[in-house]
Amino acid sequence: MCTTFITALLLSSPALTSMISAICVDMASRSEIRTISAVERAQLLAEFKHQRREMGPRRFTRAVASSKLCSIIRRMDEALTQPMPYWDARWDLRLPRPADSAIFSEDFFPKSRKRRTREKFARESVPRGLNSHFRQLGVNTLLTEAIRSSRAAQLMIILYQLGTWKATEEDCSSCPRQSRLAFCDQNRKQCVARVMRTGNCSGFIDDNPCYASRCVRGVCVPLLKPTIRTEGHPRRKIAERAAPLIDTTTTETVTSTPDPIEALLEIANEEQLSDDYNLTLPHNFTYADKSMTSQLSNKCISLNGTVPEKEQPSTTQSTRTTMNVTTKATTTVISFTNPLFDNPHFDRRLRTWVYGFDDFLPYPSVYFPVTVVHGDYKPHSLPSYSLGNVMVYSQGENLPNGYTHIVEALPLEHGYIIRIPDPASVDVLVEFSLMVKQNGRDCPRLCLHKRRYIPCRRSTVRLSKYPAYSEKLHYFKTPRQVIDRMFKGAGYFRRRKQDAFLFTCPN
């Protein structure tokens, strides 16, 4: 109901139609942009570039925000094989996060040039007459930022304007059943845009809302392709929370008789890797307790209906989740169940499992910077360079349930970038702690309060999509946005911004 109210408020606002008050083109035979083919989208993008090149970038930008937009649409209709499509933003606003729509993915307009990161060039791509347009579009800021950062921002604005002239359709007649970019929500009987890879797909139980991916625990995870590797005994990683990407397994029996010595080594290796109770043993666990536990586990296995050791045939048969092709020289294995996420590495310094900064994690991520300095904190003489040779990690505090991941920070010349779950994709809040160690010693954390750093009141940090439950911390969607906003001013007046947290490592 809240999404319907936002949609009605967004599309009924008078400032959104301030560019052109009346419909000046025929809307009867136009299709939605996600229902046309990729070839037609490429032709649309090529004709848009041609019209912009003929009029000139500045003249074309001013024309988009004026009544000359109708003449641009008519010329593009005549040049294309079919009328120019429209963009129905209602489909994107029905998602948990509208910016995760597949229309903003790189596959939608693959041949468009990337936007420049400099601010003065980024302003030119958005017409000046659309400032009020974007202010009213600020009802959903995620959709506004997605349009601004799109590679074809001006084309998206034209398509959006055509969508405001299209009559409202509350059924699934506009989106075909087999569409790759949209689907019909069977509960609401409405068209909904598909979610890009690594986007938030929670809230859809009956349908798969992901584009070229699969919804796993509320995140669109890319599908794995079969990987070919040689038969052997590779060094496998052990993870307490290891989960495969695809739950389906293919069971095949190997009838060939392997070498007895290799078979015994493989069985011993599998028993060692599948020893789950060794991962959860307390510190005061003795070998006698371990032997007793192994005896109890063997009794439990025999009660579950497995074949006793005496009844096993002489020919070795093994059941695997991979398909083996036996040859004379080597054996090729095609694996369909490779774990893509929840596969950390063991850090000997922390003596625990740690995820890398670039590892694929099963949740949408946001980023923010922190500063690490040497010595005591001095208010009026902050160093411009951050301290190196330290270990910086973020550790989940099991809120939401299951978030206990330890993730490495990205070291930079002027600080570190922390990676945490996106609070917008969580029901209530996200709680985590920050670990900064130098030579095995912890560095105390200070919090920013009225332009000064004071000792933090709480050892953990809590962020939420509700401001009342969240601490004052500015986070960003990509690490590039963090790097671009770490400084303010230019030239002699260029200064490093104050981060929300500062760590002081002793001498």
Can you tell me whether residue 82 is helix, strand or coil? coil
pLDDT at 252: 46
Strands 487-488 and 319-320 come out as unpaired
Q: How far apart are CA 344 and CA 238, in angstroms?
A: 8
343 DSSP 8-state letter: -
Beta bridge partners of 210: 195
3-state DSSP call for residue 339? coil
Q: What are phi and psi of 123, to 5 degrees?
A: -70, -30
List the alpha helices (DSSP H) in 420-500. Answer: 479-484
Tell me which amino acid residue 352 is: T
Measured CA to CA, the distance from residue 464 to residue 467 in angstroms comes to 7
Task: For residue 501, give the 3-state DSSP assignment.
Answer: strand
pLDDT for res 112: 52
**pLDDT score for 147:** 76
**Block means of pLDDT (10 residues each) for the chain, length 507 residues?**
42 42 77 88 90 88 81 89 88 87 82 47 47 53 72 82 79 79 86 88 82 86 61 46 41 48 54 42 44 45 42 42 40 38 75 88 91 79 61 91 90 89 88 91 90 90 88 90 84 81 86
Predicted confidence at residue 338, as pLDDT, reads 40
Contact indicator for 479, 432 with CB cutoff of 8 Å: no
Q: What is the dihedral of CA 119, 125, 127, 133, to 10 degrees?
A: -80
Output the CA–CA distances (angstroms, integers) from residue 38 to 33, 44, 179, 276, 375, in the order listed.
Answer: 10, 10, 12, 49, 58
From the list 364, 361, 383, the residue with the least C-alpha distance to 374 is 383
Q: Which of 361, 350, 425, 346 is nearest to 391 (CA)?
A: 350
φ, ψ for residue 383 (rounded to 5)? -70, 150
Work out the number of other CB atoms within 10 angstroms of the CB of residue 221.
Answer: 20
The residue type found at 94 is: R
- Helix (H/G/I), strand (E/B), else coil: 107: coil
pLDDT for residue 176? 75
The H or E element spanning position 439 is none
* Whole-angstrom distance, CA of residue 212 vs CA of residue 220: 9
158 in helix, strand or coil? helix
pLDDT of residue 359: 86
Question: CA 452 → CA 57, 163, 229, 382, 400, distances in Å?
Answer: 46, 49, 56, 11, 31
Alpha carbon of 249 to those of 23, 336, 337, 471, 502: distances in Å?
55, 8, 7, 44, 48
Tokens 């945490």 sit at which residue? 420
Helix (H, G, I), strand (E, B) or coil at 483: helix
The 3-class secondary structure across 383-429, one letter per residue, is CCCCCCCCEEEEEEEEECCCCCCEEECEEECCEEEEEEECHHHCCCE
Q: Which H or E element spans position 434?
A: strand 429-438
* Structure tokens, 69: 């937009």
Burial class (CB in 10 A: 0-12, 13-18, 19+), 116: exposed
Neighbouring CB atoms inside 10 A of 455's CB total: 10
In the chain, % of residues over pLDDT 70: 63
Q: List pLDDT tens digits, range 418-475.
A: 999 999 888 788 999 999 998 888 999 999 988 889 999 989 999 998 888 889 899 9
String of DSSP letters for 26-69: --TT--BGGGS-HHHHHHHHHHHHHHHHHH-HHHHHHHHTSTTH
Nearest one of 209, 204, 258, 252 to 231, comparing CA atoms: 258
